[in-house]
Every structure is written in structure tokens, then in C-alpha cells.
Amino acid sequence: MYMTEPQNKEYKQSWRDEYLKWICCFVNAQGGRLFIGIDDNGVIVGVQEYNKLMDEIPNKSVNHLGLVVDVNLHKSGNKHYLEVVVPVSSVPVAYHGIYYYHSGSTKQELKGIALQHLLLKKTGKKWEDIPVEEASLKDLSANTIRRFISKSVEMNRIPRTAKKMNIDPANFLQRPRKNGAFGVS
């Protein structure tokens, strides 16, 4: 039997613990399936010790990733192969402290901005939700804050009256009051 390798599937001839990285990739992306006993050309080559792997793979996934995966046994002719079904996670998952992501047909180790994007996305945050502890009002330009207010009004993010209120930029950065005014409550 011949199968192509679409982007949410990965074929491996045999199991290696390093394939937990692929499980991590799938869980951080859109989920996916890892097939053990199928080569890169989609030919079923079979897998030895499939009963042992049906215990080992789920246990290793839980122990190393904190993730429960389904492992299904399939048979084609006289050859057995395994299908590891990886769900999507709503929280970021790391393998030995490293975050991986599945993009196209590649396994990407996330660093820098890509890692920040994944962590924010999975936690439901945006960059503006993250405080910068060492920043103070002295680091901000009053003119930039006024431009921000103007653009926010144009985008209907804040009430139109805010532009006419001649708001003190320092007070604007405080949480809005329940009545819609700005400043410390």
C-alpha cells in the first residue's frame, strides 16, 4: 500500500524516542498523526514489537510531554503499523524545555519571536497584555500617547470623546473608570 505524506502526518519506519519532538510539534500546531512502520514514500514496511510500543509511546508521551495520545494498531497484509493520534493543545507544550511547531512538513524548534508568538497565542494573550516591569512613564513620549489616542478613536477602540478631552497622557495609561472617563479610579 502506498500513501503520500500530507502536512499533518509524519511517517517513520521505526520508533525512536526523538520522535517525541514530532508529537510536540503536532500538539503545538493543529494536531496530527505519526505513523510508525511506514517509510517516507508511504510504503508500509511494518514495525517490530508493536505490542511493546503500544505501551511505551503513550507512557513516554505522558512522562515527557504531559500529554495523552492515542496509539492505534493497524494491519495491512501481514505487516503491522502504528498510528499515534496527537490532539491540539490549548496550552504550549515543551519537550525537555524546548518548544517545537509543525509547519508545512517540517519540525521547527521555536526561538525568539516565534516562541513568544506561540506562548502568547496559546495563553490567549497579546503583546500589549505583557507588562514591562522596568518601564516607567518617563520612557514614553506624550506626543506618541496623544497619537495613540487619536488612532484608537479612529479605530473605535476608545470613545470619540477621548480625543476632545485633552487627556493627560499619564492619566490615560491608567485603567478607564466605569463611567468611561480615564484616570485612576
Residues 108-155: tens digit of each pLDDT: 999 998 998 899 888 888 877 777 788 777 787 878 878 888 888 888
> Of 81, 100, 127, which residue constitutes the final position of a domain?
127
**pLDDT given at position 180:** 54
Q: Are residues 115 and 136 in the same domain?
A: no
- The rounded distance, in Å, linking the Cα atoms of 132 and 174 is 15
**pLDDT given at position 153:** 85
Q: Are residues 123 and 137 in the same domain?
A: no
Q: Are residues 16 and 43 in the same domain?
A: yes
Q: Are residues 46 and 121 in the same domain?
A: yes
Residue 143, in any domain of the structure: yes
Q: Are residues 42 and 81 in the same domain?
A: yes
- Ranges under pLDDT 70 in the chain: 1-6, 163-185
- Evaluated on CA atoms 117, 119, 123, 129, the torsion sign reads negative
**pLDDT given at position 134:** 83
**pLDDT given at position 169:** 66
- Angle 42-74-22 (CA atoms, 0-180°, nearest 5)? 60
**pLDDT given at position 161:** 76
Residue 168, in any domain of the structure: yes
The boundaries of the domain holding residue 61 are 9-127
Q: Are residues 54 and 141 in the same domain?
A: no
| Amino acid symbol at 28 | N
Residue 3, in any domain of the structure: no
> Of 102, 127, 152, which residue constitutes the final position of a domain?
127
User: How many domains does the chain divide into?
Assistant: 2
Residue 118, in any domain of the structure: yes
Nearest by Cα to 25 from 93, 121, 116, 126:
93
**pLDDT given at position 73:** 97
Angle at which helices 50-65 and 20-28 cross, to 10°? 60
Residue 22, in any domain of the structure: yes
For cell 492515542, the residue is 70
Indicate whether this model's pTM tops 0.85: no
